[in-house]
Amino acid sequence: MSGFVEKPEPLQVPGLVHLHTGKVRDLYRNEAGDLVMIASDRLSAYDWVLPTEIPDKGRVLTQLSLWWFDKLADLVPHHVLSTELPPGAPADWAGRTLICKSLRMVPVECVARGYLTGSGLVEYDASRTVCGLALPEGLVDGSELPAPIFTPATKAEVGEHDENVSYEEVARQVGAETAAELRQTTLAVYGRARDIARERGIVLADTKFEFGYEDGTLVLADEVLTPDSSRFWPADAWEPGRAQPSFDKQFVRDWLTSSASGWDRRSEQPPPALPAEVVEATSAKYIEAFERLTGTSWS
């Protein structure tokens, strides 16, 4: 079992048509035909969108994405048109709303990995490959890879796992030219971001981008280089050979899997509400990621 513990109802805002309720973002179309993307405070863990929100999370993700889009603009154009609130939108949308170009999205999760962990580690342990790419012997959980790799995945429905696929499979699905452009851009952006994060004491282990096309031009979409789309590890605690502490959801995962939660991951039951101290600690972690990366204070 997985999905939303409680699926929120879309808000009615004059002039906006509701398109989609994602795990974290709500999408609307405005009268100009642009996409209105609102990052909520929802959090997902263990394939569930939890019933408890994390205050400010959506604003942190939105402001961090904006900061990165600007840092990357010379490498790839991005989808943001403005941060202006649509007339009649609730005040709570301020800081979490982006007006974006409505793109023809490429149905590929463009993942770059500089370090081995997660689904990459599972495949490596079984076959010494990740997405079919051969890797050297002797790598362990958290090892830095000889060079960053493009490890695409197909987009899954809410509650399903994304599935890693080979580069050849992506080329079959979207065409050789698009596949090559996705790989080249993904690795270029990852390389830039990894270097920026490293200067700030953060290891960017891996990250996921989504791209779309606007009249034949590849455009960086969605959110970028946030704790939700990336694995950030504190560099001073990085130690290959064990699971690395994650910047953001660690408190949530630890609590959900502890006896205190009374929840069994393998059961059919949805996860329970989070206690206040887990919510506060998690909110603080998202803010800390923003502050460390951007070097500016959140409030």
Instruction: Write out the residues near ligand ATP by the rule CB under 6 A.
Output: 20, 22-25, 27, 35, 79, 100-103, 105, 158, 210, 212, 221-222
Answer left, alpha or beta for residue 227, where phi above 0 means left and psi between -120 and 50 means alpha.
alpha
**Of the two residues 105 and 235, which places its CB atom closer to ligand ATP in the complex?**
105
Distance, in Å, from the CA atom of 184 to the CA atom of 114, rounded to the nearest integer, reads: 15
- Residue pair 159/3 in contact (Cβ under 8 Å)? The answer is yes
Nearer to ligand ATP, 120 or 212 (CB): 212
State the nearest-atom distance from the C-beta of 34 to ligand ATP, in Å. Answer: 9
* DSSP 8-state secondary structure symbol assigned to residue 214: E
Shortest Å distance, C-beta 128 to ligand ATP: 30
Nearest to 170 by CA among 255, 262, 80, 108: 108
Q: Which residue is nearest to ligand ATP (CB)?
A: 22
Q: How far is the CB of 122 from ligand ATP (least distance, A)?
A: 21
Closer Cβ to ligand ATP, 13 or 80, answer by number: 80
Distance of closest approach, residue 77 Cβ to ligand ATP, in angstroms: 11
Closest approach of ligand ATP to the CB of residue 249, in Å: 15
Beta carbon nearer to ligand ATP, 23 or 265: 23
Residue number, 207 or 261, with CB nearest to ligand ATP: 207
> 3-state DSSP: the chain helix, strand, coil percent, rounded to 5?
30, 25, 45
Rounded least distance, CB 103 to ligand ATP, Å: 4
Distance CA 111, CA 142 (A): 16
Task: Report CA-CA distances (Å) from 292 to 31, 192, 287.
Answer: 38, 17, 9
Place of tokens 């939890």: 50
Instruction: Tell which residue, 188, 289, 279, has the closest CA to residue 233.
Output: 289
Nearer to ligand ATP, 24 or 278 (CB): 24
